[in-house]
């Protein structure tokens, strides 16, 4: 919330913190999936865009 709706002095730090948290979360998700699962998800995502 602070990254979007906070005072300008707080938004930069909050946005940086949010990006770091997202990067950590995505890393955990990637490590929990097998290569086959990741490949299957990538192919499914590409088919949605076509």
> Is-above-0.85 flag for pTM?
no
- As a whole number of angstroms, the distance between CA 34 and CA 6 comes to 39
Length of the chain: 50
- Are the CB atoms for 14 and 6 separated by under 8 Å? yes
- pLDDT 10s digits, 1-50: 777 787 888 888 888 999 999 999 999 999 999 999 999 988 998 888 76
| CA–CA gap between residue 16 and residue 21 (Å, rounded) | 9
């Amino acid at each position: 919330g602070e990254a979007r709706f906070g005072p300008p002095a707080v938004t930069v730090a909050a946005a940086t913190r949010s990006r770091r948290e997202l990067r950590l979360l995505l890393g955990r998700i990637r490590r929990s999936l097998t290569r086959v699962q990741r490949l299957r998800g990538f192919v499914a995502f590409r088919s949605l865009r076509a």
